[in-house]
Chains A and B, each alone.
Chain A
Amino acid sequence: MSTEILVFFIFVLSIFLGFELISKVPSMLHTPLMSGTNAIHGIILLGGMLALADASSRLALALGFIAVVFGSANVFGGFMVTDRMLQMFKKKKK
């Protein structure tokens, strides 16, 4: 079995896992959940870093730099804003 097939297998399993994970979430947590998963796809920052490290032309440097800025804003902003939302949920428990 080639690596590509194995990786694709992981991909298919992840699809089902994603469905299972959120199927039982109360609707009041939908906003934080959307925001939290939004932060998780900020892992694209890794891709940006790897691409920028490999960049050898000016164009590649510029695009890689933008990708890193974007990815970094996505990941850090995403987790912070989610935490801010969830903090408010917790506070009112008396």
Chain B
Amino acid sequence: MSPFIAIIFIAVAVLFILGIKLMGSPKTARYGNLLAAFGMLIALAATVPLLGSWETSQLLHGWSLNYILMVVGIVIGLIIGAIGAYSVKMTAMPQMVALFNGVGGGAAALVASLEFIKEASTHYEVAHETSAFITGSMLFATLIGSLSFSGSLIAFSKLQGYLEKPHTFPGQNVLNGLVLAVILGLCVYLTGWATTNSTAFIVMFSLALVFGVAMVMPIGGADMPVVISLLNSFTGLAVAADGFTINNISMIVAGTLVGSSGTLLTLLMCKAMNRPVTNVLFGAFGSGGGGGKAGASDLAGKTVKPIQADEAALLLGNAQQVVIVPGYGMAVAQAQHQVRELSDELGKRGVEVRFAIHPVAGRMPGHMNVLLAEANVPYDQLCEMEAINPTMDRVDVCLVIGANDVVNPAAREDKSSPIYGMPIIEADRAKTVIVMKRSMAAGFAGIENLLFYKDNTRMLFGDAKASLQTLITQLKAS
């Protein structure tokens, strides 16, 4: 690599670093993303002179096919990416990120595989030595990349609702551990003794794909944000390992930045749920553990109190302080615009409206913020959980729209509950709680919600969008 191109790649790394930095503040976030994208374009342009070595001209014919495939491949990817990015609804964003992450992981695994093929085919012709470090990176990239690929596809399917329930069986963790042990054993074997054994490599690759599926299958849909974030950091690390293999600094820096920031993000998300990351990955949470069922039987004698829309409208219209707690249900019903309209209507009547955003509400951190931003809800109305909880006693009406586990008082009261200890929005402390819900089905964690049975709770059943529309009409009429 010429010094000039090397300097360009260093500049690219700087652009990525600045881009991520700027993405950390709402005012500069968009600029930061564009800066990183600009860096990426430069990196792509700077790669062109590095492609192939023109000296070996006897392969020129073959190369022209390579370049045609390259251009066609980039264009196809661009079209797929653009269609995906611009056609996806804001509510389906998490799935989209999972997919893009998955294909990135797949690409990382394939790039490493191609290095392996090259290695295997040149090994006997040229006296050439590959260090264990390089081989190790290559195997790491293959393993992590393919795991991230298959895991992301499962995460995507779960969020799309194809595979919502966690799949578990006895001894699953042991079996997964065994698969992982075999994979690692093969990696050690390939690194130390048989750099060119394709059979071992193919077995390793396939097992890594299987392991990705096996790892994500037992995890419930509610934990998918954590999984996607983790797989995102995995793909980053795989890309960094590929950078080691093909000796490209900007791939190392970019991949590592994603790997470490993704890991931190994953830990932050687990912290918000007050669960260690190991519990999310191996706990098979949401499979209906003993705690959840015990909670349900306690509630056998209790009933919920339904409310009609006109009464709910009256309560809201006469309140001084209203807190709206949005959740995944709002996303599913696409009700964010109605939520905003309701909030505006209440604002006109002098009601103080705030939104309480739980860090893990929805299917991704910040999911609710994105949706409410789409509906033009002003920033200053959005409050974080820590800010809203101390003021909850003074709130007249707390309107819960499609949120469930994040307002479940079991996290505070029921020591046997799987979510015990998770920080929640303390909706039950408001004078009246109105819960908008389609049915009495349990939330994604699969546990009963004690909030629904509280004396100050009223249930407004029905589709969130339709119910909100009725509320708005009633308010306007009164």
Contacts and interface: CB of A to CB of B under 8 A. Distances in A.
Contact of A14 (B256, B264, B376): B256
Nearest to A5: B133
B252 to A, nearest CB: 6
Nearest to B94: A31
Contacts of A19: 260-261, 264
Interface in A42-87: 42-57, 59-61, 63-87
Interface of B: 16-17, 19-21, 23-26, 29-30, 32-34, 36-37, 40, 43-44, 47, 50-52, 59, 62-63, 65-67, 69-70, 72-78, 80-82, 84-86, 88, 90, 93-94, 96-97, 100-101, 103-104, 106-108, 110-111, 113-115, 117-118, 121, 131, 133-134, 228-229, 232, 235-236, 238-240, 242-244, 246-265, 268-269, 272, 357, 359, 364-367, 369-370, 373-374, 376-379, 382, 384
A10 B72 CA distance: 34
B120 to A, nearest CB: 11
A64 B109 CA distance: 11
B17 A17 contact: yes
A74 to B, nearest CB: 4
B24 A33 contact: yes
B253 A73 contact: no
A34 B73 contact: no
A55 B23 contact: no
**Which 8 interchain pairs have the tightest Cβ spacing?**
A72-B77, A77-B81, A18-B260, A68-B73, A30-B365, A28-B369, A80-B85, A14-B256
Interface residues of A, number: 82
19 contacts: A11-B240, A11-B252, A19-B264, A27-B369, A34-B364, A36-B19, A38-B104, A39-B100, A40-B40, A48-B107, A49-B70, A52-B66, A52-B69, A53-B51, A53-B63, A56-B59, A64-B114, A69-B77, A87-B30
- Tell me which of B40, B100, B252, B367 has the highest count of chain A C-beta atoms within 10 A of its own C-beta: B100
B101 A38 contact: yes
A59 to B, nearest CB: 7
Contact of B69 (A54, A65, A84): A65
Contacts of B33: 32, 36, 39, 79, 82-83, 86
A15 B259 contact: yes
Contacts of B379: 92-93
Given A40-B20, A45-B107, A88-B374, 9 more contacts: A10-B253, A18-B20, A30-B265, A46-B248, A60-B118, A67-B107, A70-B107, A78-B85, A90-B30
A50 B260 contact: no
A81 B382 contact: no
Given A30-B365, A89-B29, A48 B110 contact: yes
A53 B69 CA distance: 9
B69 A50 contact: no
A43 B256 contact: no
B257 A44 contact: no
Given A43-B239, A47-B246, A89 B265 contact: no
Given A26-B26, A44-B251, A46-B248, A39 B37 contact: yes
Contacts of A49: 44, 47, 51, 70, 74
A91 to B, nearest CB: 7
A10 B110 CA distance: 24
Contacts of A44: 104, 107-108, 111, 235, 238-239, 242, 251, 255
Given A65-B73, A83-B34, A87-B30, A76 B82 contact: yes
A55 B257 CA distance: 29
A74 B259 contact: no
A28 B117 contact: no
A76 B23 CA distance: 18
B67 A33 contact: no
A1 interface: no
B232 A32 contact: no
A68 B80 CA distance: 12
